[in-house]
């Protein structure tokens, strides 16, 4: 759905000003396709996320889950289709056309933060330096203010003792929490998580999931998460979307997807992963 | 010819002056090579249509022709087109440009060695290109480049002898001058060789140590 331009009645006091100005989904994929050669990874995908919604994406390996997040983060371009975020067009690629960056791409991208499977922290910089880098050099924040906020964020993810450690000195779980703080420091409206715990040793998964759970429960940030942690997805999501072969096969409340899936494909997938 | 000790001792001060020139030209040449090489590597990476092709051609040209030919062209041909400088300056620039083509390759591999995830994190944070290069990519890429830069510095130190052909009075040029005016080549050339060795051997030991220290950590 294209975000509608109709004015919204003013009595919707729960919405913030920017949301009043731009009603409709905060993330919208319209007929988005992505191919690498003959590998059609996304096929005419239509997919929306509402402001503040916590959505988990599940599905088998290679179904295109990461690709969706990477297109939103502009790390990948769609072969075709329209992607908008917060009412701004991020990608608009006509069939047969070469994908071109839209004019507002850079501005729009600032509304999105991403947490990677492999953390991707800057290894030669301390945790604090990792977190203050973008606020100072992208948002133009004063150094002192940026450091103060970064310290708060590192405290929030339970790392106040490790602010001056570099990534190689931190455990995987700690690194991922720094990465979450780094993304949060940009005050994104949308946070993307790509299997944030799958590179971690089992005993470190919990600490990262706790941080994400707290975020989900305490903020109105929109969260889109690819995960294999089914119980966690069930617990924190407003909605779960099942992907297969580049299509959203089924989408619904977590209870429905996990307890009562409508699609046979969802059922067989869940049976396979939950057995482990 | 028998070694003449008194003569040998008498020419040492002059040869040391030549050594100073050799060291100066090496340091200046390395500075030019290090900076220009970096610029070439970044320009190639940015993949700007015409610029990239020009840079690639320049690198192929510089690497495909002998240093001596380049030095002769710069010193004897360019002045015909109104571009001229003294031998020392010309020599430093020619050897600097020559080595920049090799340094560019070193930088390129260093830059390529930085994990793709680092670029992606930069994109996700929306960092401006100057920060991406200056604060994130190059500091990581240069770690592996430092020892290689050292190796090229030592090689350039020895190669700079070629510049005696365009009348730079560096160490070899000095030795040759002493030889031809005294009709004795044994002492000046031997001492020149020893002086080259005295500098280059400890330097390569140092570079080896740097290499171990800056080895990529995994
Ligand atoms: N840069 C690329 N070049 C070519 N093919 C790619 C590229 N990135 C992804 N693919 C292909 O696209 C398909 C979907 O990849 P994607 O990473 O989106 O899957 P996924 O659902 O995230 O899988 P997983 O659960 O294994 O992470 C795969 O077949 C993959 O091989
Ligand atoms: Mg994936």
Question: Which tens digits make up the pLDDT trace of A70-79?
Answer: 999 999 999 9
pLDDT at residue B140 tops 90: yes
**CA–CA separation, B4 and B7 (whole Å):** 5
Q: What is the rounded (10 degree) CA torsion for B190, B196, B199, B200?
A: -120
Please give the Cα distance from B142 to B145 (Å, whole number).
5
ipTM score: 0.88
Q: Is A273 in the pocket of ligand 1 (CB under 6 A)?
A: no
d(CA B24, CA B29): 8
B218: pLDDT strictly greater than 80: no
Closest to A173 in 3D by CA, of A136, A203, A216, A140:
A203
* CATH no. for B5-213: 1.10.3720.10
Percent of chain A surpassing pLDDT 90:
84
Cα(B101)–Cα(B103) distance, integer angstroms: 6
Per-residue pLDDT, B212: 83
> What proportions of chain A, in percent to the nearest 5, are helix, strand and coil?
40, 25, 40
Tokens of B29: 């040449």
Average pLDDT over residues B5-25: 94
Question: Do A73 and B217 lie within an 8 Å CB cutoff?
Answer: no
pLDDT tens string B74-101:
999 998 898 888 999 999 999 999 999 9
Q: How far is the C-alpha of A42 from the C-alpha of A29, rounded, in Å?
A: 11
Q: Does position A3 have pLDDT exceeding 50, yes or no?
A: no
Q: Is the CB of A39 under 6 A from ligand 1?
A: yes
Angle at A222 between CA A221 and CA A228, to 5 degrees: 120
What is the model's pLDDT at position B49? 87
The whole-number average pLDDT for the span B173-184 is 93
pLDDT at residue number A195: 96
| Cβ of residue A36 lying under 6 Å from some atom of ligand 1 | yes
Helix (H, G, I), strand (E, B) or coil at A114: strand
Model confidence pLDDT, tens digit, residues A82-138: 999 999 999 999 988 888 888 888 889 999 999 999 999 999 999 999 999 999 999
Q: What's the Rg (C-alpha) of chain A? A: 19
Q: Could you tell me which residues are beta bridge partners of residue B124?
A: none
Mean pLDDT of B121-127: 96
- 3-class state of residue A190 by DSSP: strand
Distance from Cα B45 to the centre of ligand 2, integer Å: 28
Q: What is the mean pLDDT of chain A?
A: 90
Q: How confident is the model at residue A260 (pLDDT cuts 50, 70, 90)?
A: very high
Instruction: Specify the pLDDT at position A22.
Output: 54
Indicate the pLDDT class of residue A177, thresholds 50, 70 and 90. Answer: very high
Q: Read off the pLDDT band of B47 (50, 70, 90).
A: confident
Q: Is A63 in the pocket of ligand 1 (CB under 6 A)?
A: yes
Q: Given this model, what pLDDT does residue A5 score? A: 44
> Is the predicted pLDDT of residue A275 greater than 80, yes or no?
no
Residues of A in contact with B140 (CB under 8 A): 123-124
Is any Cβ of chain A less than 8 angstroms from the Cβ of B216? no
Gap between the Cα atoms of B45 and A139, Å rounded: 27
Q: What is the DSSP string of A190-248?
A: EEEEESTTTTS-HHHHHHHHHHHHHHHHH---EEEEE-S-HHHHHHH-SEEEEEETTEE
**Best residue in B121, B134, B136 for a mutation probing chain A (most A CBs within 10 Å):** B121
What ranges do the domains of chain A cover?
A: 52-65+106-274
CA distance B118 to chain A (A): 6
Sorted by where each begins, the domain ranges of chain B are: 5-213
Ligand 1 close to Cβ of residue A41 (< 6 A) = yes
Q: Is the pLDDT of residue B211 over 50?
A: yes
Angle at B22 between CA B21 and CA B24, to 5 degrees: 60
The per-residue pLDDT for B2 is: 87
Q: Can you tell me the distance from the alpha carbon of A41 to that of A35, in angstroms, rounded to the nearest whole number?
A: 5
Cβ-Cβ contacts under 8 Å, A120 against chain B = 115, 117-118, 120-121, 124
Fold for the domain defined by A52-65+106-274: Rossmann fold (3.40.50)
pLDDT of residue B146: 84
The pLDDT value recorded for residue A21 is 54
pLDDT at A27: 97
- The pTM (predicted TM-score) of the whole model is 0.86
What pLDDT, on a 0 to 100 scale, did the predictor assign at position B217?
A: 53
- Pairwise CA distance, residues B72 & A10, whole Å: 80
Q: Minimal Cα–Cα distance from B204 to chain A, Å?
A: 27
Do residues B40 and B62 touch, judged by C-beta distance below 8 A? no
Q: Cα dihedral angle (B114, B120, B126, B132), rounded to 10 degrees? A: 10
pLDDT digit string, tens, across residues A5-43 = 444 443 333 445 554 555 689 999 999 999 999 999 999
pLDDT, mean of residues B90-116:
94
* pLDDT at B108 exceeding the cut of 70: yes
Q: What is the pLDDT of residues A180-238, one digit of tens each?
A: 999 999 999 999 999 999 999 999 999 999 999 999 999 999 999 999 999 999 999 99
| Residue A276: predicted pLDDT | 54
Q: What is the pLDDT of residue B149?
A: 87
**Model pLDDT for residues A54-64, shown as the tens digit of each residue:** 999 999 999 99
CA distance A33 to chain B (A): 22
| CA distance between the termini of chain A | 38
pLDDT of residue B213: 80
Task: Please report residues of B whose CB lies closer than 8 A to that of A134.
Answer: 125-127
């Amino acid at each position: 759905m294209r975000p509608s331009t109709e004015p919204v009645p003013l009595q919707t006091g729960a919405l913030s000003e920017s949301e009043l100005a731009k009603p409709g989904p905060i993330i919208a994929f319209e007929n988005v396709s992505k191919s690498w050669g003959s590998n059609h990874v996304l096929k005419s995908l239509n997919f929306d996320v509402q402001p503040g919604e916590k959505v988990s994406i599940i599905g088998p390996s290679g179904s295109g889950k990461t690709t969706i997040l990477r297109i939103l983060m502009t790390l990948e371009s769609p072969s075709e289709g329209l992607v908008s975020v917060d009412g701004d067009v991020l990608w608009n690629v006509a069939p047969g056309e070469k994908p071109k960056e839209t004019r507002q791409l850079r501005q729009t991208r600032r509304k999105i933060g991403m947490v990677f499977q492999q953390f991707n922290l800057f290894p030669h910089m301390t945790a604090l330096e990792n977190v203050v880098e973008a606020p100072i050099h992208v948002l133009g924040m004063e150094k002192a203010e940026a450091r103060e906020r970064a310290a708060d964020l590192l405290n929030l993810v339970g790392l106040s003792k490790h602010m001056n450690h570099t990534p190689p000195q931190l455990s995987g779980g700690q690194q991922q929490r720094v990465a979450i703080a780094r993304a949060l420091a940009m005050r994104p409206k949308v946070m993307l998580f790509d299997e944030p715990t799958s590179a971690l040793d089992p005993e470190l998964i919990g600490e990262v999931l706790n941080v994400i759970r707290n975020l989900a429960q305490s903020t109105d940030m929109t969260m889109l998460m690819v995960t294999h942690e089914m119980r966690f997805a069930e617990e924190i999501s407003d909605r779960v979307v099942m992907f297969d072969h580049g299509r959203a096969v089924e989408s619904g409340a977590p209870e429905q997807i996990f307890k009562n899936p409508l699609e046979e494909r969802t059922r067989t997938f869940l049976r396979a992963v939950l057995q482990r | 010819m028998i070694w003449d000790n008194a003569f040998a001792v008498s020419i040492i001060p002059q040869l040391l002056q030549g050594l100073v020139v050799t060291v100066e030209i090496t340091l200046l040449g390395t500075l030019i090579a290090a900076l220009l090489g970096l610029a070439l590597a970044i320009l190639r990476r940015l993949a700007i249509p015409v610029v990239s092709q020009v840079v690639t051609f320049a690198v192929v040209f510089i690497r495909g022709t002998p240093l001596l030919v380049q030095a002769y062209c710069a010193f004897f041909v360019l002045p015909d087109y109104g571009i001229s400088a003294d031998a020392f300056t010309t020599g430093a620039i020619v050897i600097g440009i020559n080595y920049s083509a090799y340094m560019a390759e070193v930088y390129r591999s260093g830059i390529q060695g930085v994990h793709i995830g680092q670029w992606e994190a930069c994109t996700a944070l929306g960092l401006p290109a100057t920060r991406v290069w200056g604060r994130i990519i190059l500091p990581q890429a240069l770690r592996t480049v430092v020892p290689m830069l050292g190796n090229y510095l030592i090689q350039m130190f020895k190669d700079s002898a070629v510049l005696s052909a365009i009348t730079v009075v560096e160490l070899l040029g000095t030795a040759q001058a002493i030889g031809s005016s005294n009709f004795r080549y044994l002492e000046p050339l031997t001492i020149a060789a020893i002086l080259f060795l005295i500098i280059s051997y400890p330097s390569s030991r140092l570079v080896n140590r740097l290499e171990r220290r800056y080895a990529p950590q995994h």
